[in-house]
Amino acid sequence: MRVAIAGAGLAGLSCAKYLVDAGYTPIVLERRDVLGGLVAAWKDEDGDWYETGLHVFFGAYPNMLQLFKELGIEDRLQWKEHTLIFNQPEKPGTYSRFDVPDIPAPINVITSILRNNDMLTWEQKIRFAIGLLPAIVRGQKYVENMDKYSLLEWLRRQGVDERVNSDIFIAASKALTFINPDEVSATVPLTALNRFLRERYGSKVAFLDGSPTERLCQPMVDYISDRGGEVRLNAPLKEILLNENGTVKGFLLRGLDGAPDEVLTADLYVSAMSVDPLKVMLPQPWKEIDFFKKLEGLEGVPVINLHLWFDRKLSDIDQLLFSRSPLLSVYADMSNTCREYANRDRSMLELVLAPAQDWISKSEEDILAATMAELEKLFPMHFGGDNPAKLLKYRVVKTPRSVYKATPGRQACRPSQKTPIANFYLAGSYTMQEFLGSMEGAVLSGKLAANAIASDYSPKIVSDTQVSGETQLAIG
């Protein structure tokens, strides 16, 4: 059976991977000339990589880790020390760490919180712990129900100190969703926290050893192609063509560089596009169906990824850092964290600017100037004095619509992978799965779409979805 899949982000590639495993023939059609969607990366004229986003993998990503294993590329994940590191803007140039000891969950995470005295007083820790109790005791169902509140509203209802919000949750909320706690649904950080509290290595972080396009997406393409599937770049879906009964008749692909449009037919069809292009492309008759109407409640959130190459080493920290800056979110010195970007003499900082609503339409020069001003505040020792660090070059990658904006009430808008149209399925991190708008969510959504197809059109189940990685994977 041929399955046409629009979109070669992680969701589309994962869907194709699990379909070939089950004996289907997927044809993945990607609009751009690069694999990966939100994980896409490019090489500049000097051979240096720049990316759509600074990406890290967590121990609590069971489906992603299983995929690495199935592709035989587990050694490409560079696991870091089990710690979360925050900048202390009130003491420039210093860091506060939550070191997670190698003991069972949740004692490990709780110990790391109790041991940290820079960011929380004992009273705040106790109130924070009491506030979190319902989420821990009542589990994911409670967490899902909290989608009616913003994180800030939820923290206030739980009586958690305002300082916990400003110190920890602003950083977490910006890192997970690119928006602030007054906007983000309480479900999102609570879901992440629940996972971190349940799994011994859940909050342990890994970096890929090179660009996601080459080191993760390409092996997926090779796997798919070796087993009879196909992945086509520069193949934009222009229109979903319908039969009289409302099912899909074909994908109309836009011809590029003067080539005519092409109709591609298959037995089944999947959209693995992000939600914004899908909404634009919905055929008129489908717009009347409640299932698709709900998509109106979802839209991508803007975010900006910056790369700054300096003339010297600024730090030897081999880890993701939470900046706690109003302008920036997480960042890393990629010359330390990633094998292929390694440099002993010079730092390359990759930084996420979020929330980016007010910055997305500004010039690259303005964005750079604001970022440098922020770095000067965080690290006066590198940028002040007689011999300040020099910026050698930079890249700014803007994404006006990235993952779905996870404001309160969005859970009800997220569609299942199976749709009311008999031969049409959805994949994408915005579709309903428990890992939110993440790489893990994208991979899981692709697997769920493949499973839905296999259960509708053949009794063979594609692959078990994983709810916990602990038992399967030893994380080094």
Ligand X SMILES: Cc1cc2nc3c(=O)[nH]c(=O)nc-3n(C[C@H](O)[C@H](O)[C@H](O)COP(=O)(O)OP(=O)(O)OC[C@H]3O[C@@H](n4cnc5c(N)ncnc54)[C@H](O)[C@@H]3O)c2cc1C
With contacts defined by CB under 6 A, name the span among 30-38, 181-189, 219-227, 343-351 that binds ligand X: 30-38
Residue type at position 442: A
Verify binding: residue 31, ligand X, rule CB under 6 A: yes
Contact 11, 428 (CB under 8 A): yes
Verify binding: residue 9, ligand X, rule CB under 6 A: yes
Contact 219, 73 (CB under 8 A): yes
Chain residues 85-144 in contact with ligand X, contact rule CB under 6 A: none
With contacts defined by CB under 6 A, name the span among 1-9, 78-86, 102-110, 450-458 that binds ligand X: 1-9
Q: How many whole angstroms separate alpha carbon 439 and alpha carbon 219?
A: 16
Q: How many whole angstroms separate alpha carbon 288 and alpha carbon 291?
A: 9
Verify binding: residue 273, ligand X, rule CB under 6 A: yes
Nearer to ligand X, 131 or 302 (CB): 302
Report which of 140, 141, 170, 144 is spatially closest to residue 155, judged by C-alpha positions: 170
Verify binding: residue 277, ligand X, rule CB under 6 A: yes
Q: How many whole angstroms separate alpha carbon 213 and alpha carbon 195?
A: 27
Verify binding: residue 469, ligand X, rule CB under 6 A: no
Nearer to ligand X, 68 or 128 (CB): 68
- Please report how close the Cβ of residue 398 comes to ligand X at its closest, in angstroms: 10
Angle at 308 between CA 307 and CA 312, to 5 degrees: 145
Interface residue with ligand X, options 440, 450, 451, 453 (CB under 6 A): 440
Chain residues 291-350 in contact with ligand X, contact rule CB under 6 A: 303, 305
- Please report how close the Cβ of residue 37 comes to ligand X at its closest, in angstroms: 2
Interface residue with ligand X, options 19, 20, 38, 295 (CB under 6 A): 38
Write out the H or E segment, with its range, that includes residue 115: helix 107-115
Report which of 25, 181, 248, 42 is spatially closest to residue 17, judged by C-alpha positions: 25
Q: What is the DSSP string of 427-456?
A: -STTSS-TT-SSHHHHHHHHHHHHHHHHHH
Interface residue with ligand X, options 4, 5, 10, 15 (CB under 6 A): 10
Angle at 273 between CA 205 and CA 21, to 5 degrees: 70
Contact 331, 323 (CB under 8 A): yes
Interface residue with ligand X, options 21, 30, 147, 199 (CB under 6 A): 30
Angle at 450 between CA 285 and CA 72, to 5 degrees: 145
Nearer to ligand X, 151 or 301 (CB): 301
Through-space distance between the first and last CA atoms of the chain, rounded to whole angstroms: 40
Verify binding: residue 352, ligand X, rule CB under 6 A: yes
Using CA of residue 109, residue 110, residue 114, residue 118, what is the dihedral sign? positive
CA distances, 208 to each of 75, 101, 102, 212 (Å): 9, 23, 22, 7
- Please report how close the Cβ of residue 397 comes to ligand X at its closest, in angstroms: 8
With contacts defined by CB under 6 A, name the span among 32-40, 79-87, 122-130, 410-418 that binds ligand X: 32-40
Chain residues 208-247 in contact with ligand X, contact rule CB under 6 A: 236-237
Verify binding: residue 32, ligand X, rule CB under 6 A: yes
- Please report how close the Cβ of residue 320 comes to ligand X at its closest, in angstroms: 8
Interface residue with ligand X, options 3, 5, 8, 396 (CB under 6 A): 8
- Please report how close the Cβ of residue 163 comes to ligand X at its closest, in angstroms: 26
Verify binding: residue 399, ligand X, rule CB under 6 A: yes
Verify binding: residue 407, ligand X, rule CB under 6 A: no
Helix (H/G/I), strand (E/B), else coil: 240 = strand
Write out the H or E segment, with its range, that includes residue 271: strand 268-271
Chain residues 43-82 in contact with ligand X, contact rule CB under 6 A: 52-56
- Please report how close the Cβ of residue 39 comes to ligand X at its closest, in angstroms: 5
- Please report how close the Cβ of residue 27 comes to ligand X at its closest, in angstroms: 12
- Please report how close the Cβ of residue 258 comes to ligand X at its closest, in angstroms: 19
Verify binding: residue 403, ligand X, rule CB under 6 A: yes
358: exposed, middle or buried (Cβ count in 10 Å: 0-12, 13-18, 19+): exposed
Nearer to ligand X, 124 or 218 (CB): 218
- For ligand X, the binding residues (CB under 6 A) are 6-12, 29-32, 37-39, 52-56, 236-237, 272-274, 277, 303, 305, 352, 399, 402-403, 428-429, 437-442
